[in-house]
Amino acid sequence: MIVRPRLSWLRMLFVIRGSVLPKIWVQLVVVAAMATVVTWTHGDLLGWRVGLTYVPFTSIGVALAIFLGFRNTASYERYWEARKLWGSMLNASRSLTRQYIVWLGDREPAAGFVHRLIGFVHALRHQLRGTDPLPDLAALVDAPLLASLRTARSRPALILQSLGRTLADAARRQDLHPQITAVMEQSMMELTDVLGGCERIANTPIPFAYSVIVHRTVYIYCFLLPFGLISSIGILTPLMVTFVAYTFLALDALNEELEDPFGAMPNDLPLLALSTGIEITLRELLGEDALPAATPAEDFVLP
């Protein structure tokens, strides 16, 4: 995810990184070249004049813009829900850490519990991105749990189970009042909901057929548009076609990025920054001084 100060209107016109232009510039060049050829031949295709006007493209363009807008809304809703889930995880982990330190800190060492909670956060990040969490978890969990995590398929769920057992053991020893146990269990349930919500978003993409329809329609529209404009605007056809193509192709490409908010694209969520921020917060609650360096929006931060 790119995080940068608000740019002036002039710099916004020419900014490259953070836009989807690097992903679609080849398609734009192809569309511009085709529009130039159509303009040069005055709409003749291998000796046959394509008799199109701008009228059908006006109606189709409006419908296409509506479809793209709907898909953009659906993609952004997934992105924003994912961001709210990670915000809920921050709140729940803070509450659980505070509750554990206040109610059990004088009877049970809090560091092991909180470090496992930090391990849950990092394990979820790695699971969502399909990367190996074991190097991060090795310094956060004990050896028996780490051995179990090596072969586990849902490592965050296994860590939550370990945290739950710790609370259950404290309740059986009557170190926790039943009402406090219920409150802490509610925080554990919130973390479980976050895990399930993130897995739902990651494992349930927007229906592929819908994406194919929009994608094909965008490209067919852009390739046929020069034939509809050549008779009305003449030599300006390549310029206008490229501008329209940029609008539609950019929206299509942006929707693909937002559809998977847990990816590593410039406009996806900065999971490394979010998980590191949670770790810093929890370690501060423990009173630790050796804190990890803050990670500002991963590798996509611009000055």
Per-domain boundaries in the chain: 9-300
How far from 133 is each of 140, 250, 283, 287, CA to CA, in Å?
11, 34, 19, 25
What percent of the chain is helix, strand and coil (3-state, nearest 5)?
Answer: 75, 0, 25
In this prediction, the residues of the chain whose per-residue pLDDT falls under 70 are: 1-9, 12, 14, 18, 43, 45-51, 106-108, 295-303
Please tell me the predicted confidence (pLDDT) of residue 299.
41
Please tell me the predicted confidence (pLDDT) of residue 47.
60
For residue 267, give the amino acid letter.
Answer: N
The 10 Å Cβ neighbour count of residue 199 is 16
Please tell me the predicted confidence (pLDDT) of residue 82.
96
Q: Where are the beta strands (DSSP E) in 184-256?
A: none
Show Cβ contacts of residue 152 under 8 Å, excluding neighbours closer than 6 positions.
158
Show Cβ contacts of residue 154 under 8 Å, excluding neighbours closer than 6 positions.
127
In which residue are the tokens 């109610």 written? 103
Cα separation, 147 vs 138, whole angstroms: 10
Tell me the H-state helices in 105-207. Answer: 110-129, 134-137, 143-151, 155-172, 178-203
Cα separation, 291 vs 283, whole angstroms: 7
Please tell me the predicted confidence (pLDDT) of residue 85.
97
Please tell me the predicted confidence (pLDDT) of residue 301.
39
Please tell me the predicted confidence (pLDDT) of residue 83.
95
For residue 174, give the amino acid letter.
Answer: Q
Show Cβ contacts of residue 148 under 8 Å, excluding neighbours closer than 6 positions.
158
- For 57, the 3-state DSSP assignment is helix
- For 14, the 3-state DSSP assignment is helix
Q: Nearest 5°: CA angle at 301, between 297 and 303?
A: 140
Q: Give the dihedral sign, CA 127/139/152/168.
A: negative
Q: Where are the beta strands (DSSP E) in the chain?
A: 44-45, 48-49
Please tell me the predicted confidence (pLDDT) of residue 234.
83
pTM, two decimal places: 0.85
Q: What is the CB-side half-sphere exposure of residue 213 using CA atoms within 13 A?
A: 10
Please tell me the predicted confidence (pLDDT) of residue 298.
45
Please tell me the predicted confidence (pLDDT) of residue 280.
94
Do β-strands 44-45 and 48-49 pair in parallel, antiparallel, or remain unpaired? Answer: antiparallel
